[in-house]
């Protein structure tokens, strides 16, 4: 029995998904099943009760999970300390983030990190806020990068920045000719926005409600790129993070206008599981993200 089998078992227990456990460990679902079966043969007992409608650990499975986590945490701590003693920074980092942060906020930090630590492999995947938190807690990924992170007693939430939000419109729009506008100036405008379950949308809606400003929500999308394309063809205006529209403003396909009477920002944070042992690679990546 190898520690890799215990790691697969723990990942399966936490994610409750053979697909996720396979993805975490970069193996096939069949290999996950084989390793679980091997553990059950080794201990001579059923570890997981599973069917199409149910997935839960048996009493023996819970016992093995608790002790396996101790073994894995100890092993990862020793590995991290060994690498620190040898001044070695290598391994893999798994990051999950929303589209706007992954495409526009993260790249400069990632470029700086990889230049300094070229032997580390950083895998970035795009997801939604709730799924990111779920994957961090389930050890599917090491870190999550998202906006409006909220609170969770099981997570370390590290604020990174406050990103400015601006109005964007197509260059021929009347508001495009103004350097600054008041938030009330968008009253009655056709607004292209994010889906209602996206935190940035909820943050914008909250400010509009507080200021009693009514807009005409014409379209909703789940990512920043589609929002920008809809605004470019004149569907309406949108409120987006300023960092996401630098290229379009430079090319002249979009106009950006700041608000003079309100400071619209969205908080961006990195999150990781409190109980996770941080490798030197992860510690250095966090250091660059937080500019320490």
Tell me the CATH number at 32.
1.10.10.10
**DSSP-derived pairing of the beta strands 180-181 and 143-147:** unpaired
Q: What is the structure's pLDDT at 90?
A: 75
Q: Looking at the structure, do residues 203 and 280 belong to the same domain, yes or no? A: no
- Residue 169 shares a structural domain with residue 224: yes
* Other beta carbons within 10 Å of 214: 12
pLDDT at 292: 52
Specify the number of domains making up the chain.
3
Q: What is the CATH number of the domain that holds 242?
A: 3.40.190.290
Do 274 and 262 share a domain, yes or no?
A: no
Query: CA 10 to CA 21: how far, in whole Å?
Result: 9
Instruction: Collect the ranges in the chain with pLDDT lower than 70.
Output: 1, 52, 84, 86-88, 292
Neighbouring CB atoms inside 10 A of 273's CB total 20
User: Given this model, what pLDDT does residue 88 score?
Assistant: 66
pTM: 0.75
Indicate whether 151 and 282 sit together in one domain.
yes
CA distance 155 to 2: 29
Of 85, 107, 138, which residue constitutes the final position of a domain? 85
User: pLDDT tens digit string along 208-238?
Assistant: 999 999 999 999 999 999 999 999 999 999 9
Q: Say whether both 241 and 179 belong to one domain.
A: yes
Residues 152 and 272 in one domain: yes
User: Measured between alpha carbons, how far is residue 38 from residues 2, 15, 49, 69, 221 in Å?
Assistant: 11, 20, 15, 18, 45
Q: Are residues 149 and 274 in the same domain?
A: yes
> Same domain for 127 and 272?
yes
For residues 196 and 114, membership in a common domain is answered with: no
Q: Domain containing 285: what range? A: 91-161+268-289
Residues 153 and 281 in one domain: yes
pLDDT tens-digit map of 153-174: 999 999 999 999 999 999 999 9
- Asked whether the CA dihedral 126, 127, 128, 133 is positive or negative, the reply is negative
243 with 274, same domain: the answer is: no
Estimate to the nearest angstrom the gap between the alpha carbon of 234 and the chain centroid: 30
């Amino acid at each position: 029995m190898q520690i890799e089998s215990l790691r697969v078992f723990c990942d399966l227990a936490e994610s409750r998904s053979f697909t996720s456990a396979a993805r975490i460990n970069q193996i096939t679902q069949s290999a996950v099943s084989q390793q679980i079966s091997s553990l059950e043969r080794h201990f001579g007992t059923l570890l997981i009760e599973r069917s199409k409608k149910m997935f839960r650990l048996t009493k023996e499975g819970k016992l093995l999970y608790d002790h396996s986590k101790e073994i894995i945490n100890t092993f990862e701590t020793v590995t991290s300390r060994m690498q620190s003693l040898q001044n070695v920074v290598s391994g893999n980092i798994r990051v999950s983030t929303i589209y706007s942060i992954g495409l526009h906020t993260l790249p400069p930090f990632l470029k700086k990190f990889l230049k300094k630590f070229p032997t580390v492999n950083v895998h970035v995947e795009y997801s939604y806020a709730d799924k990111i938190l779920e994957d961090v807690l389930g050890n599917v990924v090491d870190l999550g990068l998202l906006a409006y992170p909220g609170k969770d007693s099981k997570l370390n939430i590290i604020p990174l920045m406050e990103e400015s939000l601006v109005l964007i419109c197509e260059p021929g729009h009347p508001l495009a000719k103004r350097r600054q506008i008041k938030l009330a100036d968008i009253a009655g405008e056709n607004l292209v926005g994010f889906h209602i379950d996206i935190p940035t949308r909820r943050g914008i809606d909250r400010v509009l409600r507080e200021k009693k400003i009514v807009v005409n929500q014409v379209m909703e999308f789940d990512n920043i790129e589609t929002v920008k394309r809809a605004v470019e063809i004149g569907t309406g205006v949108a409120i987006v993070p300023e960092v996401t529209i630098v290229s379009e403003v430079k090319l002249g396909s979009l106009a950006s206008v700041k608000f003079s009477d309100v400071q619209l920002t969205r908080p961006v944070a990195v999150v990781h599981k409190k109980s996770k042992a941080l490798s030197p690679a992860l510690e250095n990546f966090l250091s660059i993200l937080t500019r320490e």
